[in-house]
Amino acid sequence: MTGHATQPAAAVLRLSADDNVVVLVRSVAAGERIDVEGQEVVLAVPLGLGHKLAARAIKSGEKILKYGVAIGSATCDIPCGGHVHLDTMQSDYLPTYTHDEGRRFSASA
Amino acid sequence: MSILRNDAYLRSDGRKGIRNTVLVVYLVECSHHVAREIVLPYRDRGVHLAGFGGCFPNSYAFHMLVALTTHPNVGAVHLVSLGCEGFDRRGLLERIRGSGRPAELTVIQEAGGTQASIERGRAWVEATLAEIESVPRVAMSSDELIVGTICGGSDGTSGITANPAIGVAFDQLVEMGAACIFEETGELIGCEQIISERAVTEELGRELTRSIEKAARYYTVLGHGSFAPGNADGGLTTQEEKSMGASSKSGTSPICGLLKPGDRPSAGGLYLLDVVPDGEVRFGFPNTSDPAEIIELIACGSHLTLFSTGRGSVVGSAISPVIKVCANPETYRRMQGDMDIDAGRILEGRASLAEVGAEIVAATLATAAGAETASERLGHQEFVLGYKQFEPVGPACHPSGR
């Protein structure tokens, strides 16, 4: 597909047939081309293993499905191969607490 | 059912230990230094430090210290009191002595201060180490084993490798007759239905759902849930995503009871430990860190704990060994010395889930038979105990209770 003599091991893993996200099984560099279920995707930023990519285009407000269940909702349209994380989805339960929020909290405390 | 070892430590209540630890316990932060100094020369000889820092009495803390000082892995206990704190030191001493264990109390204000108390404590520990060598040794089988599990420093790999592998191990251990305990109802938020459907009775299923709803309410009041910044760096985005990964540690066995800290499983099988306090929110976060949850699993009788980590936690525990199952192959390569099991091999196609599950069972049986874990070798003996409040569980929580 990318013309390599030996094809590198798949970079992403699908956890359930119903999922609209896949999981990175190795760290990938910015600009790296990877195969997301038949579609070639160029990554804008470096991402560590365990991060989620959209397995297909996802509309804003759509449920994000991992392990075959909803783990939250998209907060914007996400293209196939887009990073599915704090900037593009949110919990349907509790807000996620991040380093930045932690710093804001400490500063205002 | 299989024999784990022929030389387990028999306690007067019939329970059997896989370690024979001397526990030195401070009963207020003001006696922490003296207790630590007593332990220091013996830290490599199975003498552990535990304690409660608060000056105000708390029935949860008392109940926890009774459960911990009479845990089957504990052979003897030395209590260290300043003298003016609110803890019921005489009540605790009576409970420990009632269990047949050697137990002593040093009250710093009566013993003549810091130096005299340290000398008194060390002399007692020295003599007691020799005394507890004569504890009766007996055969112990897998249906007498209690195993806890917890995840800490989770990332996007935890729910794919280490947690489901621990689930595989839990299924096998339950089949061998062991009691297995998973915990943190706050990490089941979003999985209420899946969990409650696994209960052995409908009443228990409703209790399980209620315990998870209680956690959601509690965490909502506190402003955020069981989700640390490192979880997001590791690719986890939401509480319910973390929950799905966390709950896979429990395997597929039916859930046969709901415990609160200090409650013991009545028989073999799978149990959920409810760590979130009852009543209105008070005293702050339910558990301030992973070691506090490990201590609650131990208070329920856990002989050892299976700890799943992706980001790379290093902790162990006082009283009961911790087996570290590393979910992330990159973390394992970086922190190999802290890990017992390399579950990240699953991601790289170097092992199957079933193979790693079998390795975890083998490590559990070896540790129960006396083998040291990585955190034991490195001297980890974390202990955290804070303020909480609980109502006793109702009869619906123990459908198989004897």
| Mean pLDDT on B161-180 | 96
Residue A2 pLDDT > 60, yes or no?
A: no
A107 confidence band (pLDDT: 50, 70, 90): very low
Collect all residues of chain A within an 8 Å Cβ-Cβ radius of residue B247. none
Residue B199 pLDDT > 50, yes or no?
A: yes
Longest Cα separation, chain A: 57
Residue A1 pLDDT > 80, yes or no?
A: no
How high is the ipTM of this complex?
Answer: 0.80
Residue A3, domain member (yes or no): no
B190 confidence band (pLDDT: 50, 70, 90): confident
Collect all residues of chain B within an 8 Å Cβ-Cβ radius of residue A49. 156-157, 235, 328-330, 347
**Nearest CA of chain B to the CA of A13: how many Å?**
9
Question: B213 to chain A: nearest residue by CA?
Answer: A93
**Nearest CA of chain A to the CA of B160: how many Å?**
8
Q: What is the pLDDT of residue A94?
A: 63
> Distance between CA B368 and CA B9 in Å, rounded?
11
Report pLDDT digits (tens) over B56-90: 999 999 999 999 999 999 999 999 999 999 999 99
> Percent of chain B at pLDDT above 70?
99
> Percent of chain A at pLDDT above 90?
59
Beta strands A52-54 and A21-24, pairing class:
antiparallel
Q: Which domain holds residue A82?
A: 12-108
Q: What is the pLDDT of residue B178?
A: 98
Asked if A91 lies within 8 A of B245 by C-beta distance, the reply is: no
Which residue type sits at B118?
I
Asked if B241 lies within 8 A of A102 by C-beta distance, the reply is: no
Q: What is the pLDDT of residue B273?
A: 96
Q: Which of A26, A92, A96 sits opposite B232 (nearest CB)?
A: A96
| Mean pLDDT on B37-59 | 96
Residue A100, domain member (yes or no): yes
Q: Read off the DSSP letter of residue B391.
A: P
> Distance between CA B173 and CA B60 in Å, rounded?
30
Q: What is the pLDDT of residue B216?
A: 85
Could you tell me how many residues make up chain A? 109
> Distance between CA B166 and CA B357 in Å, rounded?
6
**Average pLDDT over chain B, rounded to an integer:** 94
Q: Which CATH number goes with the domain that contains A92? A: 2.30.130.110
Looking at per-residue pLDDT, the higher value among A102 and B235 belongs to B235
Q: What is the pLDDT of residue A10?
A: 82
Q: What is the pLDDT of residue B211?
A: 94
Collect all residues of chain A within an 8 Å Cβ-Cβ radius of residue B234. 48, 50
Residue A51, domain member (yes or no): yes
| Mean pLDDT on B180-185 | 93
Cα pseudo-dihedral B259, B261, B264, B267, rounded to 10 = 30
Q: What is the pLDDT of residue B209?
A: 94
Residue B1 pLDDT > 50, yes or no?
A: yes
Q: What is the pLDDT of residue B243?
A: 87
Q: Is B135 helix (H, G, I), strand (E, B) or coil?
A: coil
Residue A6, domain member (yes or no): no
B38 confidence band (pLDDT: 50, 70, 90): very high
B399 confidence band (pLDDT: 50, 70, 90): confident
Q: Mutation test of the interface with chain B: which of A16, A43, A71, A99, choosing the one with the most B Cβ atoms within 10 A?
A: A71
**Nearest CA of chain A to the CA of B226: how many Å?**
9
Residue A56, domain member (yes or no): yes
Asked if B328 lies within 8 A of A50 by C-beta distance, the reply is: yes
Domains belonging to chain B, first-starting first, are 8-137 (3.40.50.2300), 145-397 (no CATH)
CB–CB of B151/B309 below 8 Å? Answer: yes
Q: Region of A7 please: left (phi>0), alpha (psi -120 to 50) or beta.
A: beta
Q: Is B332 helix (H, G, I), strand (E, B) or coil?
A: helix
Collect all residues of chain A within an 8 Å Cβ-Cβ radius of residue B228. 97
Collect all residues of chain B within an 8 Å Cβ-Cβ radius of residue A84. 237
B130 confidence band (pLDDT: 50, 70, 90): very high
Number of domains making up chain A: 1
Residue A109 pLDDT > 50, yes or no?
A: no
Residue B224 pLDDT > 80, yes or no?
A: no
> Distance between CA A22 and CA A41 in Å, rounded?
13
Q: What is the pLDDT of residue B343?
A: 97
| Mean pLDDT on B129-152 | 97
| Mean pLDDT on B239-246 | 86
Q: Report the range of poorest mean pLDDT among A16-20, B23-27, B40-44, B361-365.
A: A16-20
B10 confidence band (pLDDT: 50, 70, 90): very high
Q: What is the pLDDT of residue A108?
A: 39
A107 touches B: beta carbon within 8 Å = no
> Distance between CA B289 and CA B108 in Å, rounded?
30
| Mean pLDDT on B153-170 | 92
Q: Which of 40-99 (A) contact B at CB < 8 A?
A: 47-52, 64, 66-67, 69-72, 84-86, 89-99
A18 touches B: beta carbon within 8 Å = no
- Which token pair is B12? 């007067």
Residue A7, domain member (yes or no): no
B203 confidence band (pLDDT: 50, 70, 90): very high
Collect all residues of chain B within an 8 Å Cβ-Cβ radius of residue A94. 189, 216, 219-220, 224-225, 227, 238-239
Tell me the CB-side half-sphere exposure of residue A91, using CA atoms within 13 A.
24
With DSSP H G I counted as helix, E B as strand and the rest as coil, what are the percentages for chain B, rounded to 5?
40, 20, 40
Report pLDDT digits (tens) over A16-32: 888 999 999 999 999 99
B137 confidence band (pLDDT: 50, 70, 90): very high
Which DSSP string do the residues of chain A spell out, in sequence order?
----SSPPPPSEE---TT-SEEEESS-B-TT-EEEETTEEEE-SS-B-TT-EEESS-B-TTPEEEETTEEEEEESS-B-TT-EESTTTEE-SSSPPP-HHHHHHHHHH-
Q: What is the pLDDT of residue B182?
A: 96
A100 confidence band (pLDDT: 50, 70, 90): low
A27 touches B: beta carbon within 8 Å = yes
Mention every residue, 6+ apart, whose C-beta is less than 8 A from residue A51.
A23, A24, A83, A85, B156, B235
Question: B310 to chain A: nearest residue by CA?
Answer: A50
